[in-house]
Every structure is written in C-alpha cells, then in structure tokens.
Amino acid sequence: MKLRTFLALDFPPEILRVLTLIQEKYKKLVPQAKWVRSSNIHLTLHFLGDISETDVALIIKELREPLTNKSGVLAKLGEPGVFPSWDNPRVLWLSLAGKLPPLYDLHNVTLQTLVKNGFTLVKRDFCPHITLARISAHKRSISLDRSVINKLVPGKGQEFKLDKLTLYTSKLTPTGPIYTKQHTFLLQ
C-alpha cells in the first residue's frame, strides 16, 4: 500500500488558537474558501507523494541522526500571501517572520537526507507558508484585495518555538484530508 507522505513542523497549541482567530476574521472576506482545520495546520518542509510503508520507516530511520541536537525555529507569524496570485488566489497563507536561518537549515538537512536515499521531491523554491484556506479550482475565480487582507493580521505578535518535526501520512477524503503522525522528531 502506498502512503501519501509529507514532512512538516507542528505549531504550539497557543499559536493554533491565534491562527483560528485569524481564519475567523478572513471567513467574512472569503466565504467561498475551504478553511484548514486547526488540527491540520502545519508548516510543510517536503512533500514526498505516494511512497511505500517500507520507505516511511526508512525515512524515520535515516532522519534520526541528522536531526539529533538540531535547533528548533524561533518565529513569529508574518504577513498574508496567496498562491498563485492576488488576481487568482487558490491558497491563502501566512508567512513566517523571526529568526529563520534554522528553518532553512532544517529544510536543507532533511532535503539532503531524502535525496541521498533516492527520494524524488517537488523541485520548487522553499517558500515557508502556513496554509489557512484553499479556494477550489472548480469555484469561480475571485480576486482578493491585498490591503484589506493585510489589515486583518494582528500586529507582530508573540514569538514561539517550532520544535516538533513530524512525518505525516495523509488520506484524502471527500470531507478533507486525514493526517496521521508517523513519527515526531523533537528539536532543541
């Protein structure tokens, strides 16, 4: 059986609550969007696609050593953004702010381990983002006013630590994806 797999950083519960409040504010502006439920919010580092159970176990084994004593990421919530463009938004997200070099380091270290073990990854520049909502391609295209969306983000906010890196598998269902934690690596 193949497992749809990705590697992501988990947010502390207090930040998930802040993200839910931000989603509530946005809901009035973008009623047609599908909102990511708080238990499903994370920061994706790598999407591996469908891989075997043996490969899931191999990744957990191979990441253990490079992640030993790795620093977590001290971050703040950043600004809102969309993929692919404000004229045709499909994904509404928040960026991360703060001291981000450890985040890029984690991205690189995990990338090198995955590539060394023969995994194929989507070749995109790493654009760290927290997906808040998705607008289905079946829905009529809408345009979002960047300045209005920007106004709803609460100031700079508190600093928090991302110190849990989890290998997830994801089952797609008509009511949304079901994510299962396969293993969590604790960072310093």
Positions touching ligand 3AM (CB under 6 A) are 6, 44, 47, 122, 131, 170
Please, which residue, 97 or 155, has the CB nearer to ligand 3AM? 97
Nearer to ligand 3AM, 131 or 184 (CB): 131
| Token pair recorded at residue 76 | 């703040």
Which one, 65 or 138, has the nearer CB to ligand 3AM? 138
Who's near 7: CB < 8 A, 6+ residues apart? 44, 45, 46, 48, 59, 110, 165, 166, 167, 168
User: Cβ 142 to ligand 3AM, closest distance in Å?
Assistant: 19
Q: Token digits for 77?
A: 């919530």
* Smallest gap from residue 122 Cβ to ligand 3AM (A): 4
Residues 6+ apart with CB under 8 A from 62: 113, 116, 117
Decide whether 157 or 177 has the Cβ nearer to ligand 3AM: 177
Across-strand partners of 182? none
What the block records as the tokens of 56 is 């899931």
Minimum CB–partner distance for residue 5 and ligand 3AM (Å): 9
Measured from the CB of residue 75, what is the shortest distance to ligand 3AM in angstroms? Answer: 15
Nearer to ligand 3AM (CB atom), residue 28 or residue 124: 124
3-state SS record for 55-84: HHHHHHHHHHHHHCCCCCEEEEEEEEEEEE
CB of 77 to ligand 3AM, least distance (A): 15
Rounded to the nearest 10 degrees, the angle between the axes of helix 101-116 and helix 53-67 is 130
